[in-house]
Amino acid sequence: MTDITMIRAAASRLAGHARRTPLLSSPFLDEIAGRRVFVKPECLQHTGSFKYRGARSAVSALEPETRAHGVIAFSSGNHAQGVALAARQFGVPSVIIMPSDAPRMKIDNTRALGAEVVLYDRATEDRDAIGAALSSERGLTLIKPYDEPQVIAGQGSIGLEIAEDAAALGIDRADVLACCGGGGLTSGVALALEADAPGLRARPCEPEGFDDATRSLAAGQIMRNTQTSGGLCDAIVTPQPGNITFPIMQRLCGPGLVVSDDEALHTMALAFARLKLVAEPGGAVALAAALFRRDQIDGDAVFVTISGGNVDADVFRDALARFA
């Protein structure tokens, strides 16, 4: 299971490969949120998402002989691109199973990074079964998108960086809001904070209709979403929290925060106007929670992730047209 030793080892392997993203702030966003807001823009990470960290961590942890056979992953796009790039950097093949309704940009980018893309229908086909068949047939190693210890460890490197930056700012107590799908980012950050900044508390942030982590934490057991596709925030649409990630979140995280699609779009426009960042809807939900759920957050400072910026042009234009 993932622990702080594994996270530190992953961070060491990522050094010189993953970008150390900065903390950004804006007095305009502080005013809306009613507190200081510090934004960790993982939309500036390689492949436009934090997912590169976990993918590179997992691929780099494989034994060279195993890695040489290639890797396989399933993803709506961000994990796909991260695994495709990591595999290319190690010179090994990659196969990515993607839902047919994933944003076209993510599908095209994954192919451009050298991966073989296999599309499936979320509503009628089982991606796990497809992945198992291909893995067995070709000897590929599955890199799961969130319920994988080395992936969680790679995402935990974000928590190490936030802990260092918070200490430099003299902040020893605050919520750290993470965009949450299956919980890889949230649980990895929570483990890192437990070790290096115990006064900082990770909290999952989700879109309405796909708030399985929030409901699971409230219920004390894993709760499944009724819908498994169709949400605007495709990057963080998952059926339920992971079997590995949920116990970590249950032990370490505060209550979840839930925002609407319109609030995510509004936040995309604000991030562009005030921080000059391009955020995708799912990548904007943590900042949206900081801005529009201010009464559910304590303290005079909050840290948030913008977890990805891989948005189709028409969705971004819509956000700017409606809220800029």
Q: How far is CA 205 from CA 37, 117, 223, in A?
A: 15, 29, 15
pLDDT digit string, tens, across residues 167-218: 999 999 999 999 999 999 999 999 999 999 999 999 999 999 999 999 999 9
As a whole number of angstroms, the distance between CA 156 and CA 7 comes to 6
Structural contact between residues 193 and 159, judged by C-beta atoms closer than 8 angstroms: yes
What is the enclosing helix (H) or strand (E) of 31? helix 27-33
- pLDDT tens, position by position, 235-247: 898 899 999 999 9
Answer yes or no: are the C-beta atoms of 173 and 249 closer than 8 Å. Answer: no
Q: Decide: helix, strand or coil at residue 142.
A: strand
| pLDDT attached to residue 82 | 96
Q: How many angstroms separate the CA atoms of 110 and 51, rounded?
A: 13
Q: Which helix (H) or strand (E) holds 303?
A: strand 301-306
**Is the predicted pLDDT of residue 103 greater than 90, yes or no?**
no
Average pLDDT, the chain: 95
Residues 30-81 pLDDT 10s: 999 999 999 999 999 999 999 999 999 999 999 999 999 999 998 878 999 9
Query: Looking at residue 76, what is its pLDDT?
Result: 76
Sheet holding 141-142, edge to edge: 116-120, 94-99, 71-74, 141-142
* Nearest residue to 18 (alpha-carbon basis) of 59, 48, 53: 53
pTM attached to this predicted model: 0.96
For residue 75, the model assigns a pLDDT of 84
Residue 311 has pLDDT above 80, yes or no: yes
Q: Which of 13, 313, 311, 310 is nearest to 156 (CA)?
A: 13
Look at residue 237 in the predicted model and tell me its pLDDT: 87
- Whether residue 160 is predicted with pLDDT greater than 80 in this model: the reply is yes
What is the model's pLDDT at position 287? 98
